Amino acid sequence: MQSFLPIAVFLGPSLKIDEARKILDADYYPPISKGDIYRIMASGVETIILIDGVLHRERAVWQREICDAINAGIKVYGASGVGALRAAELQVFGMKGCGQIFEWYRDEIIDGDDEIWLTYGDATDNFRPISEPLVNIRYTLLNAVKDGLLRAEQAEELIGFAKKIYYPNRSYQQLLKSPVLQHLSPVAFADITTYLMTKQVDLKKLDAIQVLNLQAEVSQKQDIISSKFNKLELPVPEILSKIVEMTGFIRADKICTGRELLLAVKQDVNLLKEMQINLSKHCFIREWAQQNCIVYPEQNLEYDLVKWEKVHGIVCNVKWLQSNGLTLYSYRELMRDHLAIDWITNQEPEYFGINVNLEQFIQEELPITNSNLSYVSQVELTVLRYKLSQRYFILEWATQNNIFPDISLKSYLEKKEQESISANSLNLNFDRFILKNRAFEEWIVKQGPNYFGIPWSFPSALCRQLQITGKAAYLLKNN
């Protein structure tokens, strides 16, 4: 299994990696782009430092993935480049900023993304800066005012001039072409030229060094981020699906993605169909529970987790978590949700005051589910009880949300009823109420949660189920 350090740094043109390593021992990655945080979250990373990242027409890092990392207990710092920008945007959600550029964004002294834009070489060129970012020019001009080379209004005009230059072309040489400087006396122009060429300040580099030094100091302490920060609302289904595709699964030789997992599971059509039905049912039961303020008993969690892991042969160590794209936090959160659905179903509808005689319905359902009524095993009976419990929670959800059969649905129910009667050689004395309930549930599940306005992502639900059962790692290994 690939080994990872507890600190991850996304670094590019702000500071050479060789210099950075002398300050802080960490895993260093190229400038961050969309999905990179999801890709490494299961690696066991405890602290992420964002310094440089792609911006402008490229897939910039999502605010959502930063917040998801923070909510998972990972400390996230930002400085210098995109890290400073995101920290200013997300400090209310728990991201910590560091350095002058962050403070400028935080205090709204600057607000444009282009303040930190620059062009730079690729990894083979050590991300060498090619153009000059506006924040560096801004800071150097402010120093020139302090040193008496420029007046404050002249510096402001120069900053405005630099801002109008397309960012790949920004440089101190281009700044010298500004009308402000061109109108200076030859002596004053020579002085400011010498100053700009010899005393220019790389503010992005200074801020990068500062955040690395800060982390080197606090890494010896337990710098815990408060859990009282705001949390983003649950994303829409389209975003959930994208998050799944970007999730990283750590293998011995590489990091796989959720996109690869979904492609692997699509090869098993039967599994896909079964999961679509089961997970759709889970969603409707979850909706019913939320609408009725039903809460899973927290004291059950540890016992139920042990039971789950025993049934599924799970050894919940770092290797198992990483290979299934999980952190311990995300695993427990996903399991808490799954176990809540399981607990509700096993308690059965009557426990929650739903007027359903499950024992009677089981006896009436047996002719459909078992052709040989002389003997029904305990296992078959348990499975049937569980399915019927799910059915009547779903039907109760439908009743509470005023979902009743329309004309097309009535035709569907009648068709399913006749199919059930014909297939099981039932006589007309059979209680059609059972058949109609069964067909109604099938219709609801077939339509799916989104049909009824419930924000739900099947790819996301599928991936999460594969993760907590350990099937994700198995599918990726054998794909």
Contacts of 156 (CB under 8 A, 6+ apart): none
Q: Could you tell me how far CA 257 lies from the centroid of its own chain? A: 13
E strand map for 234-329: 248-250, 255-257
**Taking the CB of residue 146, how many other CB atoms lie within 10 A of it?**
10
| pLDDT for 430 | 45
At 223 the pLDDT is 46
β-strands 255-257, 248-250 pairing: antiparallel
pLDDT number for residue 79: 97
Q: Where are the beta strands (DSSP E) in 186-250?
A: 248-250
* Tokens describing residue 366: 């047996």
pLDDT for res 24 = 95
Q: Give 113's DSSP letter.
A: G
Angle in degrees, CA 98, 104, 108, rounded to 5: 130
- Closest to 261 measured CA to CA, from 29, 8, 475, 442: 475
Three-state secondary-structure class, residue 2:
coil
Here the contacts of 275-280 (C-beta below 8 Å, separation 24 or greater) are: 275/462, 275/465, 276/448, 276/458, 276/462, 277/445, 279/458, 279/461, 279/462, 279/465, 280/445, 280/448, 280/449, 280/456, 280/458
Paired strand residues for 47: 7, 75
Q: What is the mean pLDDT of each run of 10 residues along the chain (479 residues)?
A: 87 96 96 95 95 84 94 94 96 94 95 93 93 97 95 95 95 95 93 95 97 84 50 75 92 90 91 94 96 94 95 94 93 95 94 86 69 66 90 94 72 62 48 76 92 93 96 88
Look at residue 77 in the predicted model and tell me its pLDDT: 97
- Note the pLDDT of residue 418: 64
